[in-house]
């Protein structure tokens, strides 16, 4: 049995908890929360502690701590802190800062004899893996990553900042024609506009402001100006009813030619009704991998590129060879 803890009990923490319950070899032994009293009400059977309560009480034994806070504020602090006492898994996704964060986590985890799996999930994570496989197997090829259809929090926030906007929800959508171009074996150089379009649902204070709001969204630099953007005004009720879930997904494609103009196309696709529940499922499997890595003598920080895939599975190597190879 692998004893797990969760740090941070928002959407992702809930996703991890649900995933742990689907894995017979895992047990959730503690949840650390900023609002432990509220969280304890939701989690009757599981010890809930304040996020700051390190060291943990002696009777709580944790093999791997899964960090479910935000990449901006929480993980850069909590990662190094918890890596001193536990093996950890996180989904740190500020791409530009990953090399530095890796170094910091690697140093601490090595010192303490722990394993830290960083930047896990689907992107970074599974998509990183598929990009590397694409490039390694078809080095002469072109690689592409598309995201969506899914909610981008950053773009939703940007639209919400506009005067007169009560609420906004932005969906990033891959351009289907471009996907089909690549699936046909073409390897185009693509602009932002050719890859993704943006669809924004807006609740506005007044219909008289719709035109101005639409213009301000569509023309907003960085966020919208480089894309074809559609703005749809809806009521607060429609927003609540139709846009509460957090779907996401995307595509990793590698297209190459080998030999006499033979097209070879690798395509990986995720279609997720719930981004946090899927990411939580991946993090739970990564916690198993962290546990196994440590058991087999590894220490330090690792990304999903460094983990033998068999380590994610509850089955033994022999069972996998028999059933899955």
- Residues at the contact surface with a second copy, assessed by CB under 8 A: 15, 18-19, 22-23, 95, 98-99, 102, 119, 124, 126, 128-129, 131-133, 135-140, 183, 185, 245, 258-259, 262-274, 277-278, 280-282, 285, 288, 303-310, 312-314, 317-318, 320-322, 324-325
CB closer to a second copy, 122 vs 201:
122
CB closer to a second copy, 236 vs 317:
317
Shortest CB 162 distance to a second copy, Å: 31
CB closer to a second copy, 233 vs 312:
312
CB closer to a second copy, 1 vs 318:
318
User: Rounded to an integer, what distance in angstroms lies between the CA atom of residue 130 and that of residue 141?
Assistant: 13
DSSP secondary structure code for residue 316 in this structure: -
Residue 176, burial from CB neighbour count under 10 angstroms (0-12, 13-18, 19+): exposed
Shortest CB 300 distance to a second copy, Å: 11
181-190 long-range contacts, CB within 8 A, separation 24+:
182/144, 182/253, 182/255, 182/265, 183/253, 183/265, 183/267, 184/263, 185/255, 185/257, 185/263, 185/265, 186/255, 187/141, 187/142, 187/255, 187/256, 190/144
Shortest CB 282 distance to a second copy, Å: 5
Q: Could you tell me if 245 and 236 are in contact, meaning their C-beta atoms sit under 8 angstroms apart?
A: no
41-50 long-range contacts, CB within 8 A, separation 24+:
42/9, 43/9, 43/17, 48/9
Shortest CB 54 distance to a second copy, Å: 28
Shortest CB 195 distance to a second copy, Å: 18
Shortest CB 201 distance to a second copy, Å: 20
CB closer to a second copy, 13 vs 36:
13
Shortest CB 120 distance to a second copy, Å: 10
259 dihedral zone (left: phi>0; alpha: psi -120 to 50; beta): left
26-33 β-sheet, strand order: 48-50, 26-33, 2-7, 64-67, 87-90, 115-117, 300-302
CB closer to a second copy, 58 vs 262:
262
CB closer to a second copy, 220 vs 265:
265
| Helix, strand, coil abundance in the chain, percent, nearest 5 | 40, 25, 35
């Amino acid at each position: 049995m692998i004893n797990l803890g969760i740090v941070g009990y928002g959407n992702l923490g809930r996703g991890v908890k649900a995933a742990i319950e689907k894995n017979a070899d895992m047990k959730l032994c503690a949840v650390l929360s900023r609002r432990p009293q509220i969280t304890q009400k939701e989690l009757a059977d599981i010890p809930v502690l304040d996020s700051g309560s390190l060291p943990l009480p002696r009777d709580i034994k944790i093999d791997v701590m899964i960090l479910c806070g935000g990449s901006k504020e929480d993980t850069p602090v909590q990662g190094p802190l918890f890596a001193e006492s536990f093996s950890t898994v996180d989904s740190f996704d500020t791409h530009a800062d990953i090399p530095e964060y890796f170094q910091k986590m690697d140093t601490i985890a090595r010192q303490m004899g722990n394993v830290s799996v960083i930047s896990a999930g689907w992107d970074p994570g599974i998509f990183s893996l598929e990009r590397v496989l694409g490039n390694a197997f078809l080095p002469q090829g072109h690689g592409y990553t598309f995201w969506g259809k899914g909610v981008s929090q950053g773009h939703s926030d940007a639209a919400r900042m506009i005067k007169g906007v009560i609420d906004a929800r932005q969906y990033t959508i891959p351009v289907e024609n471009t996907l089909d171009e690549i699936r046909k074996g073409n390897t185009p150089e693509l602009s932002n506009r050719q890859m993704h379009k943006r669809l924004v649902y807006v609740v506005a204070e007044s219909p008289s402001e719709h035109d101005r709001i639409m213009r301000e969204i569509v023309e907003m630099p960085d966020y919208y100006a480089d894309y074809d953007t559609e703005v749809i005004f809806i009521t607060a009720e429609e927003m609540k009813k139709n846009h509460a879930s957090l779907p996401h997904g995307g595509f990793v494609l590698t297209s190459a030619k080998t030999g006499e103009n033979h097209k070879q196309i690798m395509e990986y696709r995720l279609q997720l009704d719930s981004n946090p529940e899927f990411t939580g499922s991946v993090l739970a499997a990564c916690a198993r991998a962290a546990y196994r890595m440590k058991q087999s003598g590894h220490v330090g920080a690792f990304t999903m590129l460094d983990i033998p895939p068999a380590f994610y599975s509850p089955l033994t190597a022999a069972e996998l060879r028999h059933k899955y190879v």
